[in-house]
Amino acid sequence: GAVVSQHPSRVICKSGTSVKIECRSLDFQATTMFWYRQFPKQSLMLMATSNEGSKATYEQGVEKDKFLINHASLTLSTLTVTSAHPEDSSFYICSARGIKQGLAGDEQYFGPGTRLTVT
Amino acid sequence: AQKITQTQPGMFVQEKEAVTLDCTYDTSDPSYGLFWYKQPSSGEMIFLIYQGSYDQQNATEGRYSLNFQKARKSANLVISASQLGDSAMYFCAMRDQGAQKLVFGQGTRLTINP
């Protein structure tokens, strides 16, 4: 499989501050990246889809001004949670899709996730 | 619109037994892909198996097999000879042909007892 990294793996921030989460595809070019959030004991909920060089497409109910997504290159996407509040505390998972030599088809690979706690 | 349903919130199985995790789906697209992922307590999503809607045979990957019944719109995951390390959350997901996003089911928490 392919490798997707996320940084940081855990972050604690104070209410009102902004937090940036990075997602990198390490060994393939990610034409599309996805950002999910997952509350405890729940499924993954897609927040937005971003294609390299284009504006992200947000899912219904996700505030684009609060969750800023940048996909400036084929290997890096960032999610910035602006003016974070305790209700933003969650597990954020990125996923990348692209073509990796040696693998069949364009699969979707997940990062290890970032646990955000807003105090 | 795509929809994935996993009706088993939790499953408890004895070690070495086989286990079937249920998944049904709904889509109007004749071409689609079905996926199963495992999520251990660490949170990472581990890809297990993939089935294309036009694949003639059920997908298999080691101890994992997918019981694909197209007419019933079901894609159950079968794990043979379960191991303690199989304890985790399992998610079924689908993606329509040409669509970008993967839609997930609610998940099933599998616990393997020694």
Average pLDDT score over chain B = 94
Judged against a pLDDT cut of 90, whether residue A69 lies above it is answered with yes
Is it true that the peptide bond before A112 is cis, omega within 30 degrees of 0? no
The answer to whether the CB atoms of A43 and B43 lie below 8 A apart is no
Is B43's Cβ below 8 Å from some Cβ in A? Answer: yes
Binning pLDDT at 50, 70 and 90, where does residue B104 land?
very high
Evaluate whether B91 touches B22 at the Cβ level (below 8 Å). no
Cα(A73)–Cα(A62) distance, integer angstroms? 23
Over residues B34-46, mean pLDDT: 94
pLDDT band (50, 70, 90) for residue A98 = confident
The string of pLDDT tens digits covering residues B71-101 is 999 999 999 999 999 999 999 999 987 778 8
Among B42, B45, B100, whose Cβ lies nearest the Cβ of A49? B100
Mean pLDDT, chain A, as a whole number?
90
| pLDDT value for B24 | 98
B 49-68 residues with CB below 8 A of A?
Answer: 50
The contacts found for A71-74 with CB under 8 angstroms, 24 or more apart, are A71/A33, A74/A25, A74/A29, A74/A30, A74/A31, A74/A98
Among A112, A95, A45, smallest CA distance to B4 is for: A45
Q: How far is B51 from chain A (nearest CA, A)?
A: 12
Distance CA B105, CA B34 (A): 11
Beta bridge partners of B19: B79
Position A15 scores a pLDDT of 97
pLDDT at B31 exceeding the cut of 80: yes
pLDDT > 90: percent of chain A: 68
- The residue of chain A with its CA nearest to that of B98 is A106
Enumerate the residues of chain A whose CB falls inside 8 A of the CB of residue B37: 110
Q: Look at B106 and A43 and tell me if their CB atoms are within 8 Å.
A: yes
Asked whether residue A106 carries a pLDDT value surpassing 70, the answer given is: no
Using CA atoms, how far residue B42 sits from A39, A61, A112, B38, B50, in Å, is: 14, 28, 8, 11, 23
Give the residue on A whose Cα is nearest the Cα of B90: A43
Percentage of chain A exceeding pLDDT 70: 92
Q: What is the band of A102 on the pLDDT scale with cuts at 50, 70, 90?
A: low
**Is B109 in contact with B19 (CB distance < 8 Å)?**
no
Residues of A in contact with B95 (CB under 8 A): 108
Residues B107, A43: C-beta atoms closer than 8 Å: yes
Q: How far apart are CA A96 and CA A108, in angstroms?
A: 6
Q: What angle do CA A22, B89, A114 make, to 5 degrees?
A: 15
Residue A9 has pLDDT above 60, yes or no: yes
Shortest CA gap A37–chain B (Å): 12
pLDDT tens per residue, range A19-59:
999 999 988 888 899 999 999 989 999 999 998 888 899 99
